[in-house]
Structure 1
């Protein structure tokens, strides 16, 4: 197993903001199973440990002795905070409805629903992985692996919310979900894998969306022909690509070994 460099452990111990989130999650997952690296972390924390404990003890004594009672967070406030993410899946649904309307108006053109369905899920996926858009980012990333798994569950929730809308829109235009579902899953998995390479999953999702628009949507509208990547014959290749990306993603979640030496 590859171990993180002592310098990385020291940066993590001091709360260095230059360490990206993917590395933090991977480091915390590694620390759970490696006693040697935990000892290195303890050594890195030792200079500030006693002062931290003293400050914590004073704060707890003050709170117990006569500090103000904690104010419970109301359900309405929690819903308001979470609601900041919902405009993005709503905008994806609106985009699908607009594409459906254009398909009705211009039936001689390639179906916009079919062309956009693979990349529409990238809109909410980019939102749930965007640090500026998540009001609870510090909370979701505070526990080892908690933030990563929570964001993966959010991604799944957004996909499950959009798939029925895309399915109904596709059937109304005469296209089976089998045409766009595998490309959508492949692009979503690709954005999750590409996030650490480009500085964020949201950036990777935007980049894949732009590439898809330039390479598939625009040429199809110009030639008025359905793209080869969305035909029945291409599905076996999309299945292989999706399976490979999901396998790599699962392997990285279980055994991330890209620490520097």
Structure 2
């Protein structure tokens, strides 16, 4: 806290919408830690033509929420609001379907290539989960969320963390109970999955998140499955195991994935402001 407070002309410009975006974002960041300026901005907004409309919306929301008393600390509702699309999105049934399907193939259909197939698909599951949990297509309150200081990359990372927290242990444990069939270990997909997720987030600043996830996830599936499907002898399971051993097996391959993950994280950090405008309109 520096003791600085927003001047009146800055607050007036923010209230009437004439303030440039860079100045508006800077002011919103300041309001997170300055209750005095937050109160002044609130009063200025209420004094504009939009004030009565905002007051009506506020009263409607409070009235709708009245039957459910709030007993949790303030941070709990905010956390639930931030993570909700990531825990109720379409990707969650998809994760369960992949895990359950692999177990059924191995132990009911006696398919020996269940683990190689799981390791081939698993890295794109969290990538798809990120795409399906962020954006106006996933969150009915996205327009509201995108206008808050907590939007942008911070919100995308919160939902990505939820996706990873669910998919990584579930798919890895599924791989443990499947027969190896010469495939790499059950955890060999973790670094590739993390790297593809970070790559999708980094590319999202240029392409948009859904397009970026399609590029990274689709690129991985093509790299792994295309050579296998092109084999003339039809031994798909064996060739898939060999292909995965080449891509994710051994210290050298895992070291390459670790280096790629670090590079993607650095690029994402350097491009973090690109998410301030991502899917905002």
TM-score w.r.t. the length of structure 2 is 0.63
Counterparts of 1:1-261 in structure 2 under 5 Å? 13=17, 29=25, 53-56=47-50, 70-73=62-65, 82=84, 85-104=88-107, 105-107=110-112, 111-173=116-178, 174=180, 175-198=184-207, 200-220=208-228, 222-223=230-231, 224-225=238-239, 226-227=242-243, 228-232=246-250, 233-253=252-272
Q: Which has the higher contact order (CA 8 A, sep 6+)?
A: 1
Q: Which residue of 2 aligns with 1:42?
A: none
Aligned CA RMSD, in angstroms, stands at 4.2
After superposition, give the CA deviation of every residue in 1:141-173 in whole Å (9 maximum; x if it has no partner): 121243431221111011101111111111123
SS at structure 2 position matched to 1:107 = coil
After superposition, give the CA deviation of every residue in 1:19-70 in whole Å (9 maximum; x if it has no partner): xxxxx7x886556689xxxxxxxxxxxxxxx998342455589899xx8794
Evaluate the alpha carbon distance shift between residue 56 and residue 180 of structure 1 in structure 2; reply closer, same or farther with a 3 A threshold: same
Any conservation in 1 of the 2:115–2:175 contact (CA below 8 Å)? no
Query: Using the alignment, how far apart are the partners of 2:160 and 2:191 within structure 1?
Result: 16
Any conservation in 2 of the 1:117–1:166 contact (CA below 8 Å)? yes
Q: Report how many residues are paired.
A: 219
Deviation, 1:121, is 0.9
Deviation, 1:110, is 6.8
Gap regions ≥5 residues in structure 2: 1-16, 31-43, 69-76, 232-237
Any conservation in 2 of the 1:118–1:180 contact (CA below 8 Å)? yes
